[in-house]
């Protein structure tokens, strides 16, 4: 996974690269922890497999859980860990079905529907 981590004092210089980095999703952002004074800690977290996810206006969560080179077991393990994290982040005020559907796909393929109940029980 490609990530750019920087200090706040360098953001002015990186801002000029926004047209290149922005569309690729590589622009450092304080919310995602890629703009920090403790760069060493951020690099360590990324190397340990820290992932960030995006939630769009419709409440759809987008993230990457692996690469084509990963084994099926590793992708399944990453998917289970991600879904358990999403469940842990569920607000106490949220009522009803929290995860309505799950689709797994590669970048340029159709999605495969996954039964949410099967994943939640694991």
For residue 34, what is the domain's CATH number?
3.40.50.790
Q: Is residue 2 part of a domain?
A: no
Count structural domains, the chain.
Answer: 2
pTM of the complete model: 0.58
Are both 31 and 64 inside the same structural domain?
no
Sign of CA dihedral 27, 57, 66, 24: negative
Token duo for residue 99: 């995860």
Are both 93 and 109 inside the same structural domain?
yes
* Contact (CB, 8 A) for 104 and 79: yes
Residues in the chain: 122
| pLDDT tens track, the chain, 122 positions | 577 777 887 787 887 787 877 777 777 777 777 777 877 877 877 776 666 677 788 888 888 888 888 888 888 888 888 888 888 878 888 788 888 888 888 878 888 888 877 766 55
């Amino acid at each position: 996974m490609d990530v750019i981590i920087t200090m706040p004092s360098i953001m002015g210089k990186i801002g000029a690269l926004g047209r290149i980095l922005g569309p690729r999703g590589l622009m450092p952002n304080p919310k995602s922890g890629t703009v920090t004074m403790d760069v060493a800690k951020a690099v360590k977290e990324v190397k340990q497999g820290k992932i960030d996810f995006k939630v769009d206006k419709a409440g759809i969560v987008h993230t990457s859980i692996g690469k084509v080179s990963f084994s099926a077991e590793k992708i399944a393990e990453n998917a289970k860990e991600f879904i358990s994290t999403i469940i842990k982040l569920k607000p106490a005020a949220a009522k009803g079905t929290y995860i309505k559907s799950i689709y797994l796909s590669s970048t340029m393929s159709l999605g495969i529907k996954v039964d949410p109940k099967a994943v939640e029980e694991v």
